[in-house]
Chains A and B, each alone.
Chain A
Amino acid sequence: MIQFTNVTKRYPGGYDALSNVSFSLEQGEMAFLTGHSGAGKSTLLKLVAAIERCSTGQIVVNNANLSRLRRGRVPAFRRELGIVFQDHNLLYDRSVYDNVALPLIIAGFRRDEIGRRVRAALDKVGLLGREESLPITLSTGEQQRVGIARAVVNRPAVLLADEPTGNLDPDLARDVMRLFEEFNQIGTTVLVATHDIELINRLGHRRLVLKHGRFEGDTGAH
């Protein structure tokens, strides 16, 4: 589902954010991406989401070879992903409902279908009844859950999360991780970047470790 082959990402100026990284994540797998800050976790996720292009190597996500993905095909590719951001990236001039509905609107779903799915997704993250609220009136944890609802409402094949628990207290963090596990159980491939080692240890799952842009370890590799 996600396959990196000798991937290097060099930024202008010669700084290698990732060097020679190879791994593969099968469909329906769940893995944590860990490492110190600056190890390249965010860069790796950006490469997966086609936000950045790799300098050398090959990345295949969801059967799409990202080095050959034309610019015009990127939107369609991203619609198959769900991305959860550390800083939520919500639209603050839109209601919670509209935020969660956006991926469906973009994908061209019918309005009644949108309503059904948005309510289901909000119910899943425990925010049913807050549809009409503006994100700014929600707590950080609630905003994060709106972001998660938005990421999963389109039932993506791949779910990416960049430090999803970074701003949350331990209880909320555990709830969020449990949500990811639930989505994983219904077949979604989940890749979560986090430095919350304690939480990872408690949950198990496969672990990809980055250190200074290099692949340091992979527990449970196939």
Chain B
Amino acid sequence: MLNTRTRNPAVGFFSRRIAGLGQEDRTRRGASRGKLQDSWVGAYLAAHRWSLLGTLSQFRRMPYSTILTCVALAISLAFPAVLMALLQNAHRVAAQWDGGAQISLFLKADTSEAQAEKLADSLRTQRDIARIEYISKQRGLEEFKANSGLGDALSLLSDNPLPPVLVVHPKDTRANPAAIEKLAKSLQSNALVDIAQWDMQWLQRLHALLSVAERAVWVIGALLLVAALVVVGNTIRLAVQNNAQQIKVTKLIGASDGFVRRPFLYAGLIYGTVGGVLALLLVASVLWGLTEPVRSVAQAYNSNFALQGLGLGYSAVVITAGVTLGLVGAWVSVGRHLRAIEP
């Protein structure tokens, strides 16, 4: 076959042309190389196409490992993400309650109306106070009469027993209950104030609990991410070992470590991306499953609270975490195992 081919005049002509090219190439190697590589985009694409094909063939050869790795990654990402989403919702609930945070200043009973007004005015200028509501002795009595149902009994009293009250609405209540406490304590020290009451301790405890839960989510998340890293690393290790022969051949032909590494990094990248997207789907379906029960609980409390999803920011975090895990897992694993495979 070879003989007939080389005897074919057309082929012979072509061969001579190749031969000529070869000669020219050897004598002007540097120059002609440069010319051939001037379109680095084309060369870059050719090399990456090759690497991607390698990745895909790697997936084809180990489909179960591929799927399992993606699923393991997805679950490791989804679990902390679901917890984080629930925490976010808990924060929203707490924030609704925070909105009602206020400090009641019960002034001393002998405070005159003018003194009370003056204090209110001076407090209004304070930066951490949004609004002051002044409830005079008289108005307090009227409201009490109207709301308590004890109106008739109260009218029997000769004197108004209620103190004047200033209701302080702090700014920025949701940010930080500690700030409210500090404000209340400073108000308490005023000579006119008898008692400063802020019924916020339970809210404070809730916030403390939420921050413990948040810390727990981060720890669980970190542990799961380490697990995901190990899973990715192990899959890549298997892929490297399965490809030992190909790696040897490629190295013999003059491939750099970077070239040999690239299909595996692609694999890590794909694991990470697919795992991240799967994780978001998982999170969405879990939250969707919780929507109805949460709504009925909210309704029982006369609230129209509805569960919210992860949001764009955290979704981006999940995807980024997936991609990073995939890449880092692949990088570390390939780095460790590639060196062992030399022709």
Contact = CB atoms under 8 A, between A and B. Distances in A.
B255 interface: yes
A78 B22 contact: no
Interface string B41-80: 0111111001001000100010000000000000000000
B2 A120 contact: no
Say whether chain B's binding surface is mostly helix, strand, loop, or mixed. Answer: helix
Contact of A75 (B23, B26, B245, B251): B251
B281 interface: no
Interface in A75-97: 75-81, 83, 85, 89-91, 93-94
A76 B253 CA distance: 10
A124 B15 contact: yes
Contacts of B44: 108
A157 B33 CA distance: 14
A75 B256 contact: yes
Interface in A33-73: 49, 51
Contacts of A204: none
Contacts of A114: 46
Nearest to A93: B57
B227 interface: no
B121 interface: no
Contact of B40 (A79, A108, A179): A108
A187 B23 contact: yes
Contact of A93 (B15, B47, B61): B61
A186 B249 CA distance: 26
A207 interface: no
Contacts of A103: 253-254
Contacts of B259: 75, 106
B254 A123 contact: no
B36 A94 contact: no
A91 B249 contact: yes
B22 A186 contact: yes
Nearest to B248: A89
A186 B19 contact: yes
A185 B19 contact: yes
A188 B29 CA distance: 13
Interface bracket on A: 35 or more
B241 interface: no
A26 interface: no
Contacts of B186: none
Interface string B1-31: 1110110000100110011011101100000
Contacts of A157: 26
B40 A186 contact: no
A163 interface: no
A107 B22 contact: no
A111 B249 contact: no
A169 interface: no
Contacts of A198: none
A110 interface: yes
A120 B257 CA distance: 29
Contacts of B250: 91, 102, 106
A109 interface: yes
B14 A105 contact: no
Given A114-B46, A185-B19, A76 B254 contact: yes
A51 B254 CA distance: 11
A178 B245 CA distance: 29
A106 B260 CA distance: 10
Contacts of A101: 46, 50
Nearest to B246: A91
B252 A83 contact: yes
Interface in A108-135: 108-114, 120-121, 123-126
B252 A109 contact: no
A106 B14 CA distance: 25
Interface of B: 1-3, 5-6, 11, 14-15, 18-19, 21-23, 25-26, 36-37, 39-40, 42-47, 50, 53, 57, 61, 245-246, 248-257, 259, 342-343
Given A89-B245, A109-B46, 14 more contacts: A75-B256, A85-B252, A89-B249, A91-B249, A91-B250, A93-B57, A102-B255, A103-B254, A106-B47, A106-B255, A106-B259, A110-B42, A120-B21, A155-B26
